Amino acid sequence: MTPMPLARAVSSCLVAAALTLSATPARADDVSFGQNQLCGLETARPDRNPAVQEKIVQGRNGPIGYVRFGRGAPLLLITGFRATLGEWNAYFLGELAKHHDVIVFDNRGVGRSTATPARFGADYGIRDMAADAADVMAGLKLSRVDVVGWSMGGMIAQQLALDAREKVASLTLIATAPPGPQAAPVPPRVLQVLSGAGPDAFGQIMAALFPANVVADASKCFVGDMFAPRGYKGRPVPEPVAAQQNEAMTRWFADTAAADALRRSPVRTLVIAGANDDVLADTNGRRLEQMIPRARLDVVADAGHALMFQYPLELARHIEAFVAQ
């Protein structure tokens, strides 16, 4: 038989490869939330209620500012690097509040979560911020809660589950990373962008938080969709506080003791990662799944770091389905 011409042979190989790829099933942990839900949804947002206002609870290191709303089982949300409680998407919180008593708070040094320097300490880490989260629970007399942590807040949530495991009913970790050297830290160039320095800082931050195909819409709607309870004045995060948070994360990525303890954690855990996360890559989610005995991983297609702004309703419903199990 006469051999096929080279071009025809190459073409046949490419077709065969394409058919093989198309027949390959998606990974078991891949999920899709469908259409992006950016921009002013026509649904409830708790900050439209004038009764939803910031209050103070006393922690061991001083006051901690928090906001509480909704009805149901308590759900504690811990926010991330350079973020305030206002960085949560208001529609995401509103959807969660349909089934939960939602508590959001500012990490130490942010907004009204302050203390005297002698008590506050200039040097603190993830474990200290987890202790602050435990103080919120104690101050509000919450004996057992479901905990959601985003980004650096997910690191704090992991430590909280290690230090107060009897008080954590379940753990949801969004776009975060495990402790220890197996983690993939925030790339230096992205960390520089998140610092908010330089020209077009807002545009660069949006490009870091969202996939390229949704950056334009996200840029239009991000600020308007942020949680903004009446009278809240938590922004911006002071530079010394942001620097200390960065140092705390650096130590987290070297914390082999926390990594070892996490491998023995009994807490039921949902890990949610964005397939297009440029801040904390989804490889971190896969490492968390391998590390935590009772962890389940969901990698969300077409999702960046700020999933709660891309998919506020679907993400909230996804979390609720897990917590309710």
pLDDT single digits (tens) 302-323 = 999 999 999 999 999 999 999 9
47 touches 230 (CB < 8 A): yes
298's tokens: 């969901």
Reply yes or no on whether the pLDDT at 6 is more than 80: no
Dihedral over Cα of 15, 17, 22, 23: its sign: positive
277's tokens: 């996360």
Q: What is the DSSP letter of 83?
A: -
User: Which tens digits make up the pLDDT trace of 177-194?
Assistant: 999 999 999 999 999 999
Straight-line distance from the first to the last Cα atom of the chain, in angstroms, rounded to the nearest whole number: 63
Q: Return the bridge partners of 76, or none.
A: 103, 147
**245 in a structural domain:** yes
**18 in a structural domain:** no
Distance CA 150, CA 81 (A): 9
Reply yes or no on whether the pLDDT at 117 is more than 80: no
Q: How many domains does the chain have?
A: 1
Reply yes or no on whether the pLDDT at 242 is more than 70: yes
131 lies in which domain range? 28-323
**304 in a structural domain:** yes
CA-nearest of 259, 80, 73 to 175 is 80
* CA-to-CA separations, 201 to 96, 151, 164, 193, 217, in angstroms, rounded: 31, 20, 38, 7, 17
pLDDT at 17: 36
pLDDT at 197: 76
**221 in a structural domain:** yes
Reply yes or no on whether the pLDDT at 101 is more than 60: yes
Lowest mean pLDDT among 58-62, 174-178, 217-221, 270-274: 58-62
246 touches 78 (CB < 8 A): no
pLDDT at 295: 98
CA 203 to chain centroid, in Å, comes to 20
CATH number of the domain bearing residue 267: 3.40.50.1820
**96 in a structural domain:** yes
User: Which tens digits make up the pLDDT trace of 124-141?
Assistant: 999 999 999 999 999 999
Confidence of residue 115 (pLDDT cuts 50, 70, 90): low
pLDDT at 118: 46
**224 in a structural domain:** yes
**1 in a structural domain:** no
170 touches 270 (CB < 8 A): yes
- Give SS3 for 170: strand
**302 in a structural domain:** yes
**154: part of which helix (H) or strand (E)?**
helix 152-163
